[in-house]
Amino acid sequence: MHRILIPYKLVPSLSRLGSLLLAAFFCSFAAYPQPPSPTLSLHAYLFYNKTGQLSKDILGENGPTLGNIVTDSTSTFVVVEIKPESGQIIPSKTQVRLIAIEGQNSAMAATAGNVKPHERVLLDKASRIGPANDKGVTYVGFWLPDTGCASITLKASIVGAQTPPQNSVLGFACYE
């Protein structure tokens, strides 16, 4: 076995060089660009009990009014649209989470665990995305039962991703 002798004066320089190389290695990970995040959009449709039909998107422009609708509809179908950035492919095991809290009129807290006493969690569910269309867009649907008289705050997010959540409020009200 051969021993390599390093002059004592070079040891601090080698240790400094090693530190610089290690720092450069870890900084390269921090500078590595994060993959683009898909965009989430929320759509919601009243289910009309008497006809079995769905309404126009109540979150969209010119959607139906949400006052006293319980005579026609008592449930809502919420659709989360997942649109990737150009050229991005969303992994097939990706999950979308929807939290729906009834009775909350302001911006929703970070988690469903922060529900106030006068609020009710209607849904807290994660669901895998399905196949995408030719533009890479996919949709995940969630059914909300017993809707119609109290506002519902929706929060959609991609589980485990840096994608900002999409929030919206269904402004249901009963005037009687």
Tokens representing residue 91 in the block: 């992994």
pTM of the predicted model, to two decimals? Answer: 0.73
Q: What is the pLDDT of residues 27-55, one digit of tens each?
A: 544 444 455 578 999 999 999 999 999 99
CATH of domain 39-170: 2.60.40.10
**∠ CA(120), CA(124), CA(127), 5° rounding?**
160
- Torsion angle of alpha carbons 155, 157, 163, 167, nearest 10°? -10
- Which has more pLDDT, 119 or 175? 119
Please state which of the ranges 3-7, 55-59, 75-79, 118-122 shows the lowest mean pLDDT: 3-7
Q: Tell me the range of 47-51, 70-74, 112-116 where mean pLDDT is highest.
A: 47-51
Give the Cα separation of 47 and 154 in Å (integer): 17
pLDDT tier for residue 74 given thresholds of 50, 70 and 90: very high
Give the Cα separation of 27 and 20 in Å (integer): 10
Give, for 123, the enclosing helix (H) or strand (E): strand 120-128
46 within 8 A of 55, measured Cβ to Cβ: yes
What is the reported pLDDT for 109? 39
Task: Parse the chain into domains and list their residue ranges.
Answer: 39-170
SS3 call for 14: helix
Give the Cα separation of 80 and 128 in Å (integer): 12
